[in-house]
Amino acid sequence: MGTAQASDVSNATQRSYVVRGEKTRSMELLLRGHCAGVGRTERHAAGATWYEERGVCMANETSSTSTPRVVRVGAEARDLIRAAQRAGLRVGLVPTMGALHDGHLSLVEAARRECRFTVATVFVNPTQFGPQEDFSRYPRTWDEDLAALGRVGVDLVFAPEVSEMYPPNCTTAIAPPRVAMPLEGQCRPGHFRGVATIVMKLFQLLPADAAYFGQKDYQQTLVVRHMVEDLNMPIAIEVRPTVRDPDGLALSSRNRYLSAAERQQALAIIRGLRHALELVRQGERNAIVLQNAIRATLIDASIRSIDYVAVVDPESLGNLELLAGPAMALVACRVGATRLIDNLRLE
């Protein structure tokens, strides 16, 4: 809660977990249209005059450098999204915590390709940080974020205060699905409870047709997808490949914490993952052998604070002994004081 560079070729399969049913032919025709392409009578009937007067369609109707509309109140954002949908526009949502990089912007670009109205959120969610984690120092780069979102053509930015999302006496939270229990669930108790709760709140306030997430946070994508399926939520969850720097380091807002030497050290993560992939392609099927190969690569780079190295089932995250099909290799470790995660599909 991710284009400048192509993602891993081995990891580049796009996935679409569609929960919402297909729209009718007439609605699909409307979705292909622009705000300006919706007929005058239809726009008026759908309340789109109200919608256009508020400047909601700027990024789709003007240049990609337009400043997106910023809303900080949930009810107002919901009204704008509903108005866009009444005008026949498919709405895409990109939830972020800000400190944007090209991975986030690639999600926005995917949403803009597939939807006619794009919403991004900028909200550092306190409930997904543990007491010893970096909530207070998590990078907040509002001016840069807003400029970047304007360049890629976001229509609406929802940037609430904490009090908007968690008003006084707010005591309800979402119990995450079973897939939240291993890996990050063990290393960061309560993290996915906070993630599931804020995503549910965002989906309630911002009732988009599709939401876009990056594969770098692989376990998070499973948590969100399972929650949406389990609770019959009418939204498509779109997962896009990890975006990497040319040397392979997965883009992350926390990369800015790394010194030059630490950044070089961090490259051992993708080296280890790619080494495991090469072993699989050479015929290795023993999950422990693959995990040990990744771990050895990290240790050789003097990365010794390792939360986990896992080769698991890609759907359940259950442990594997022998690979009988695709698997996911996942790593979480600290380079200096910075905790980094990454993953790669093995097949």
The torsion angle over the Cα atoms of residues 339, 344, 346 and 347, rounded to 10 degrees, is 170
- Cα distances from 110 to residues 18, 210, 241, 250, in angstroms, run 15, 11, 11, 18
Name beta bridge partners: 328.
312, 345
Please name the helix (run of DSSP H) or strand (run of DSSP E) that holds residue 308, with its range, or none: strand 305-312
Query: Whose CA is closest to 189, among 199, 179, 181?
Result: 181
The answer to whether 173 and 127 have CB atoms below 8 angstroms apart is yes
3-state secondary structure of 327: strand
Q: Residues for the chain: how many in total?
A: 347
226 is catalytic: no
d(C-alpha 217, C-alpha 106), whole Å:
15
Query: Whose CA is closest to 217, among 337, 82, 99, 328?
Result: 328
- Cα distances from 16 to residues 32, 110, 225, in angstroms, run 19, 12, 10
* 129 token code pair: 């940080």
d(C-alpha 252, C-alpha 1), whole Å:
11
Query: Whose CA is closest to 86, among 37, 122, 51?
Result: 51
Of the listed 104, 191, 226, 275, which one is catalytic? 104
* 280 token code pair: 């699989």
Half-sphere exposure of 233 (CA within 13 A, CB side): 25
Point out the residues that are catalytic: 104
